[in-house]
Amino acid sequence: EDQVTQSPEALRLQEGESSSLNCSYTVSGLRGLFWYRQDPGKGPEFLFTLYSAGEEKEKERLKATLTKKESFLHITAPKPEDSATYLCAVQTNYGGATNKLIFGTGTLLAVQP
Amino acid sequence: DTGVSQDPRHKITKRGQNVTFRCDPISEHNRLYWYRQTLGQGPEFLTYFQNEAQLEKSRLLSDRFSAERPKGSFSTLEIQRTEQGDSAMYLCASSLLPGQPNTEAFFGQGTRLTVV
């Protein structure tokens, strides 16, 4: 069964304290891995798509990387406005062309000033 | 704003009542998805449309749920005879077709349903 596991469930950082969030996945065939940010009471906001092992993408203080079994979201010198839930999701390349996303449960990040 | 739009943002209903939600996708997107998200969980896939055709439904979508996308534009999700277990955030997303660049899904702000 396709599965996405995120860790830690919650992370508290001081402003400027860099860290990484983990997303491990078990799928028979990966079409793509996606990172989203979700603020309380709002819909997920798209951040990155990664398609193949070794791929990296960056946006401001965020950098996403992908291996054959997991992805990391690195946060460099975070600011309080980076506080949110970060969701990881995968698309599989079998079962038709649904392109549906299979999500993990997210990591709740709190950055304190 | 050219993003995905959902209406209403919040809905409180009594158990047993019917509710309907609306989603307006990004105009050039052929695909439209419905997801459900409960507290502390990631979104779970419910169903999706390619233009006006509903191509897949999750086992989560009981007979009380029905979705439509007339003319391949906006979509509606109706829940009949609501139950307390239906309380959740209902999210709509849209994307381009596979094989095109940038096929990531963009989400709306969701409709928060509370069944009392």
Among the residues of chain B, which ranges form H helices? none
Q: Would an 8 Å CB–CB cutoff place B45 in contact with chain A?
A: yes
Contact B108 A36 (CB under 8 A): no
Q: Give residue B106's pLDDT.
A: 95
Contact A100 B48 (CB under 8 A): yes
Short-list A60, A53, A49, A55, CA closest to A90: A49
> Which residues of B are less than 8 Å from A46 in CB distance?
104-107
Q: Would an 8 Å CB–CB cutoff place B108 in contact with chain A?
A: yes
The pair of structure tokens assigned to B92 is: 């709509």
> Which residues of B are less than 8 Å from A105 in CB distance?
40-42
- Residue A95 C-alpha from the chain's centroid: 23
Contact B107 A102 (CB under 8 A): no
Residue burial B8-46, b: 16+ Cβ < 10 Å; e: rest: eeebebeeeeebebebbbbeebebbbbbbbeeeebbbbb
Identity of the residue numbered B7: D
Give, for all 113 residues of chain A, the pLDDT tens digit: 889 999 999 999 999 999 999 999 998 888 899 999 999 999 999 999 999 999 999 999 999 999 999 999 999 999 999 999 999 999 887 656 667 899 999 999 999 99
pLDDT at residue B101 tops 90: no
> Which residues of A are less than 8 Å from B110 in CB distance?
41-43
pLDDT at residue B1 tops 60: no
Q: Give residue B88's pLDDT.
A: 98
